Structure 1
Amino acid sequence: MTEKTPTDSRTSALDGVVTQARADLAAGREWKARDRLVAHVASTYDQEALGLLGEVHATMRDLPSAGAAWFGTNRRGSDVDDAVDAWRDRHADNFVQMWHSLPRSVREHEGNKRVDALRRRVEKDQPAVGIDAAEGDGEGGVDAAVIIAVAVGILLLACAVIGFVTLLGWLIPGL
């Protein structure tokens, strides 16, 4: 009987994700394979899973997402070039948006020349902010805290106006 080391268990778990995703694909459940792989590569840098994720996105005709997945791998070819071009086009070559569209594990992994070059470009474009300080700002949406602050401000202003009118009613009878 052979004893499994923690590394063996981790490797088999990683292999399991890719195997399950391939089974999902074979069963015609591209969406399930995509969700499984996205969850996996969010926390684990796995070139095989990223490559398969790119293939799934390409199968689902989401070329920009395929480009983002393949950008984090060593995979090359005209299909990869087309997908990366579509990814760049989706973000209009906004390097900060492109950076944040990559899975976290790809952004944290060093050693991929293309990803490292993008990291340097983002750091150059946003030296004061840094590449991780603007997490989630890539889409240009409004922060929920701003919406809440504005709502509370409007509520306080309404209360102040009502209080002022009530005070005037007390001071000036018959108003």
Structure 2
Amino acid sequence: MSQEPQTEPSSQPSSAVQRARADLDAGREWKARERLVGHLAGEFDAEALELLGEVNYAMRDLPAAGAAWFGTARRGKDVDEAVEAWRERHGDHFAQMWSSLPRSVRERDGNKRVDALHRRAEQDRASATSGGSPRPPGAGQTGAGSAGSASSGDGGLDAATVIALALAVLFVACAVIGLVTLLGWLVPG
């Protein structure tokens, strides 16, 4: 992470924020979001970050709003709701949460919450690299990492893999029986 001096936000909004507000006034929330995301990929802008959270919240993308607002000083019921949705989306997988933050937020030192998340993400990565598990198996996993994956993570097979193998064996057996039966009809015995 780069060590940049903390500067006070200017009283004049950036051109990206001004254009995003114009997009919002014109009813183009999606365009405002794209504009803000692109702007924040290149530089840290607290006002743009806060507006991005507002746009995502208005679009009912609570996890994205939570990721944006996590890097700001903004507080309130809407922020708590969005941050909780963001944490739920990632199942408290700290490395995923870290990577979902805008790049400019990840590259800027000085935000205690963001710095703490970075430390937890690094601990999870170090634990996973050393063969440990950052959390108990199945804890906080959602989607592809939950039940139904190809392996249980400890080298064993899970139920889905066993069922798939059984169906494959059954398919091959039926194909062989069908071929033998067909040959019996075609070749007089």
Q: TM-score range by the shorter chain?
A: 0.5 to 0.7
Cα RMSD of the aligned pairs, angstroms, is 2.3
In the alignment, the residues of structure 2 paired with residue 13 and residue 40 of structure 1 have an alpha-carbon distance, to the nearest angstrom, of 16
Identify the residue that residue 77 of structure 1 maps to in structure 2. Answer: 76
Instruction: Supply the AA of the counterpart residue of 1:74.
Output: A
Identify the residue that residue 50 of structure 1 maps to in structure 2. Answer: 49
- Of the two structures, which has the highest relative contact order with CA contacts closer than 8 Å and spacing of 6 or more? 2
In the alignment, the residues of structure 1 paired with residue 73 and residue 109 of structure 2 have an alpha-carbon distance, to the nearest angstrom, of 13
TM-aligned CA deviation for residue 13 of structure 1: 9.7
* 1:13/1:38 CA distance change after superposition, 3 Å: farther
Structure with higher helix content = 1
Instruction: Supply the AA of the counterpart residue of 1:82.
Output: E
Instruction: Supply the AA of the counterpart residue of 1:68.
Output: A
In the alignment, the residues of structure 1 paired with residue 124 and residue 89 of structure 2 have an alpha-carbon distance, to the nearest angstrom, of 19
TM-aligned CA deviation for residue 127 of structure 1: 2.5
Gaps spanning 5+ residues in structure 2: where? 1-9, 130-142, 145-189
Identify the residue that residue 39 of structure 1 maps to in structure 2. Answer: 38
Instruction: Supply the AA of the counterpart residue of 1:36.
Output: R
* 1:60/1:31 CA distance change after superposition, 3 Å: same
Instruction: Supply the AA of the counterpart residue of 1:56.
Output: V
Percent identity, aligned pairs only, is 66
Q: How does 1:142-161 map to 2 (within 5 A)?
A: none
Identify the residue that residue 64 of structure 1 maps to in structure 2. Answer: 63
Identify the residue that residue 103 of structure 2 maps to in structure 1. Answer: 104
In the alignment, the residues of structure 1 paired with residue 13 and residue 123 of structure 2 have an alpha-carbon distance, to the nearest angstrom, of 35
Identify the residue that residue 94 of structure 1 maps to in structure 2. Answer: 93
- SS of match in other structure, 2:75: coil
- SS of match in other structure, 1:127: helix
Report how many aligned residue pairs link the two structures. Answer: 122
Q: Deviation per CA, 1:25-58: give whole Å up to 9, x if none.
A: 0110000000000000111111100000000001
- SS of match in other structure, 1:110: coil
Gaps spanning 5+ residues in structure 1: where? 1-10, 130-138, 141-175
In the alignment, the residues of structure 2 paired with residue 108 and residue 34 of structure 1 have an alpha-carbon distance, to the nearest angstrom, of 20
Identify the residue that residue 21 of structure 2 maps to in structure 1. Answer: 22
Structure 2-normalised TM-score? 0.60
Contact 2:13-2:47 at 8 Å conserved across structures: no
The list of structure 1 runs, each at least 4 consecutive aligned residues, that deviate by more than 4 angstroms after superposition, is 11-14
